[in-house]
Amino acid sequence: MAKLPAYFGPSAFGLKMGVIVPGSNLLTMLVQVIGQCNRDSVLDDGDVLCVTESVLARSQNNYVTVGEIAGEIQEKLPFGPVGRIGVLFPIASRNRFAKVLEAIAAAVPEGEVVVQLSWPRDEVGNPVISEQFALDLGKGPGDPISPEELMGGSFRHPITQVDYLELYRQIIRSRGARPVVYLSNDPVAILAYRPQGVVVADIHQREKTRAGLAGRVEVITLGDLCSSPGRRAWSEWGLLGSNMSSGDMLKLAPRCASAFARDVQRETAESTGKEIEVLVYGDGAYKDPTTQIYELADPQPVFGATPGLANLLREGFKYKYLVDFYHQRGQSVKEIEALLRQRSPEGLEYAETGGTTPRRLEDVIASLADLVSGSADAGTPAVLVKGFFG
């Protein structure tokens, strides 16, 4: 493959790699594949190598068991097997939360787990109940929906066809605990069920939710669990960004991702002479227009990156506005092209930049990489992104 022609703009290419298992030397594997890109003349200074968080965590053997999580919950909320734990604002997901809930229930095998979900959707847009069901009950968004009011209803997710309310009840029962599942958008509502401790399970508003309960009950977040470097497996993100694995296992987000990104950058420079940026990405930050599901179930799109990506915004001039403006002033196509080449984002008037909402560049690139690699896994755990620098 020859060097990409100059008329190519920003582009992303999935890089196929071999199977990555716990203990694989991912750094060496990435340097090898990026070296192949260099030999084929498709690697340039300023390119961005994006590595999916999944393969980094797997290579680190960053897995925990349900039992290990349950044990840590018992350490942090030490009220014994007959205790009552509240679980506040979990998302409706088998992959992201089912094993976590199982661990919470395992921490109180003779007790009770009180689960409060938001409605009509969870924080990433998964429908929890139908809006028609709430209307039939005469409920508005500020009203709670009790366990008794939910009984007898069937609330299947339109895509997965899973009734998450019933699934969560079954998971809790499977560990011997009693389930209480209800809906409310007010975090303080959980106090009416008198939990001895609460696990704040939302992702993006977790600290705000925690603050609303501070001083009223013992509170931990998912980020507080499996986050200690002294444990066998851990991540600075705790259980945030974790995924269901096989058997009784759950894969954590990778740890020390920025340090790993710097290692890849350094090794690439030494072996190819090219200066690239590197980031470790998870979910892209985009909303599916068909289902209204916001895909960002990770705490953020980027778990770690090289310093060259820090604090950069993607912004620029409104290309189509300027073309219309210059054309209406009578400039020729060649003159317009020359004028556009002279423009830079600095010092532009609002009308020239209007509509180009600045976004963090690392989030834009990570979202592009996630779309290329895909949730179904295209066998491309690394993505080479070109054309954002230089």
Q: What is the pTM of this model?
A: 0.88
Measure the CA–CA gap between 282 and 63, rounded to whole angstroms: 17
Residues in the chain: 390
Concatenated DSSP letters for 203-250? Answer: STTHHHHHHHHTTTSEEEEGGGSS--TTSSS--TTTTTT-EE-STTEE
pLDDT at position 234 is 97
Which portions of the chain are predicted below pLDDT 70?
1-2, 314-321, 340-357, 375-378, 390
Measure the CA–CA gap between 21 and 26, rounded to whole angstroms: 9
**In the 8-state DSSP scheme, what is residue 159?**
T
Measure the CA–CA gap between 48 and 278, rounded to whole angstroms: 5
**Both tokens of residue 165?**
């309310």
- 151 contacts: CB under 8 Å, gap ≥ 6: none
**Both tokens of residue 383?**
């993505």
- 75 contacts: CB under 8 Å, gap ≥ 6: none
Which is it for strands 382-386 and 359-360: parallel, antiparallel or unpaired? unpaired
pLDDT at position 319 is 60
Give the SS3 label for residue 5.
Answer: coil
Concatenated DSSP letters for 89-117? Answer: S--S-IIIIIHHHHHHHHHSTTSEEEEEE
Cis? peptide before 81, omega within 30° of 0: no
Query: ∠ CA 266-272-274 to the nearest 5 degrees?
Result: 70
Ordered by start, the domain boundaries in the chain are: 11-61+254-313+360-386, 63-251, 319-353
Say if 11-61+254-313+360-386 and 63-251 have the same CATH topology: no
Report the CATH superfamily, name and number, of domain 63-251. Answer: HUPs (3.40.50.620)
pLDDT at position 4 is 78
| CATH numeric code, 11-61+254-313+360-386 | 3.30.1330.100
**In the 8-state DSSP scheme, what is residue 4?**
P
**Both tokens of residue 43?**
């690697």
Measure the CA–CA gap between 167 and 222, rounded to whole angstroms: 20
Give the SS3 label for residue 78.
Answer: coil
pLDDT at position 356 is 55
Helical ranges in 235-332 per DSSP H: 257-272, 319-328
pLDDT at position 45 is 94
Q: Which of 136, 85, 137, 144 is nearest to 110 (CA)?
A: 85
